[in-house]
Amino acid sequence: MALCRLTGSDFEFFRTMDLFQATDVVFDYRNTKSILEPLGIVCPAPSDQLVRLYLKQMLG
């Protein structure tokens, strides 16, 4: 809940994060996986190369 102490644009940008912290919302893909796997659709684990690409894009 510390995000609520931010000021200005930082607060506006991060304020929804406090809601998730306060309600213990969990995001996962269990329901999606249970529907897609029987159809033969699987999401592979991310490779090192993919993670590096994500980090490169996020940082810069």
Domain locations along the chain: 2-59
DSSP notation for 11-31: HHHHHHHHHHHHHT-----HH
For residue 48, is pLDDT > 90? yes
Q: Which long-range contacts (CB under 8 A, 24 or more apart) does 27-32 make?
A: none
For residue 3, is pLDDT > 60? no
Prediction pTM value: 0.41
pLDDT at 9: 74
CB–CB of 10/21 below 8 Å?
A: no
pLDDT tier at 37 (50, 70, 90 boundaries)?
very high
pLDDT at 25: 73
